[in-house]
Amino acid sequence: MPESAITGTIYRRLLAAAACASLAVLTACAEVVADTSACRNLTYKDGSVPRAQYLPCAGEMIAALEALDRQTKGALDGDGRSRAEGQATVRRVMGLMKAAGGMQLLERWDDRSLTSLNVSIHNAVTHYSAFYMVSIPGESNQFYKQSLAAATSEYDGGHRRYEEAARLYRRMN
């Protein structure tokens, strides 16, 4: 078999594997949001959701962020179980955000407080997601300090944004 045919076969197999992996990730995100979630079937009117309808969904997101903050702190301290749980919680909160409207959450809503809340939630999730993208090698690794500093920075950013979102949410209730 010519080398180009082998390369093409390998490429097609890798492409198929990547497609399967993408499908698994999308399915996982869809499955983490319960059918009974307050984030499902929100009624958008004029580009936003009424506060009374949206706050139960926001409460689910804040509760997930609270757990995520604890898990991420544990992961930063080197706990492998916390890291695995945190990665699952990131997927869960992203699923909640997607069920609630996805990118519509970042639009300017008539209720500016809800807009601020959504931006804070989104920013917290962005930082926590970035944290889980950083691999922290063992202390003997030459990149340990840089990796730890990067992970710490992302955790700190996520923690600040989570606290901001929690404060905004508490003021609205």
pTM: 0.80
Mean of pLDDT values over 87-109: 96
**22/51 same-domain check:** no
Q: Does 57 share its domain with 137?
A: yes
Count how many domains the chain has.
Answer: 2
**Residue 11 token pair:** 């490429």
Q: What is the CATH number of the domain that holds 120?
A: 1.20.120
71 close to 85: Cβ distance less than 8 angstroms: yes
Same domain, 45 and 27: no
- Residue whose token pair is 């997601």: 129
Together in a domain, 16 and 72: no
Residues 87 and 145 both lie in one domain? yes
By residue range, what is the domain housing residue 41? 36-172
Is the same domain home to 51 and 27?
A: no
Instruction: Looking at the structure, tell me whether residues 43 and 25 fall in a common domain.
Output: no
Least confident of 65-69, 133-137, 157-161: 133-137
Q: Do 52 and 15 belong to one domain?
A: no
Q: Which ranges in the chain belong to alpha helices (H)?
A: 3-31, 51-76, 80-99, 112-133, 144-172
**Per-residue pLDDT tens digits for 24-74:** 444 444 457 999 999 999 999 988 999 999 999 999 999 999 999 999 999
Report CA torsion sign: 123, 129, 133, 134. Answer: positive
